[in-house]
A and B are shown apart, each in its own frame.
Chain A
Amino acid sequence: NAGVTQTPKFQVLKTGQSMTLQCAQDMNHEYMSWYRQDPGMGLRLIHYSVGAGITDQGEVPNGYNVSRSTTEDFPLRLLSAAPSQTSVYFCASSIQGIGEKLFFGSGTQLSVL
Chain B
Amino acid sequence: AQRVTQPEKLLSVFKGAPVELKCNYSYSGSPELFWYVQYSRQRLQLLLRHISRESIKGFTADLNKGETSFHLKKPFAQEEDSAMYYCAFQSGSARQLTFGSGTQLTVLP
List residues of A whose CB falls within 8 A of some B CB.
31, 33, 35, 40-45, 48, 50, 56, 58-59, 90, 92, 97-99, 101-102, 104-107
List residues of B whose CB falls within 8 A of some A CB.
6, 9, 32, 36, 43-46, 49, 51, 86, 90, 94-102
Q: Are B99 and A44 in contact (CB under 8 A)?
A: yes
* A97: B residues at CB distance < 8 A: 95
Q: Are B96 and A58 in contact (CB under 8 A)?
A: yes
Known: A40-B9, A42-B86, A98-B95. 13 other contacts (CB 8 A): A40-B101, A42-B99, A42-B102, A45-B97, A59-B96, A90-B44, A98-B96, A99-B32, A101-B49, A104-B44, A105-B43, A106-B43, A107-B43
Q: How many A-B contacts if CB must be within 8 Å?
A: 49
CA distance A16 to B36 in the complex (A): 34
CA distance A105 to B11 in the complex (A): 26
CA distance A35 to B100 in the complex (A): 13
* B32: A residues at CB distance < 8 A: 98-99
Please name the 3 residue pairs, one residue from A and one from B, whose CB atoms are nearest each other, closest first.
A42-B101, A43-B99, A104-B44
* B101: A residues at CB distance < 8 A: 40-42
* A43: B residues at CB distance < 8 A: 44, 86, 99
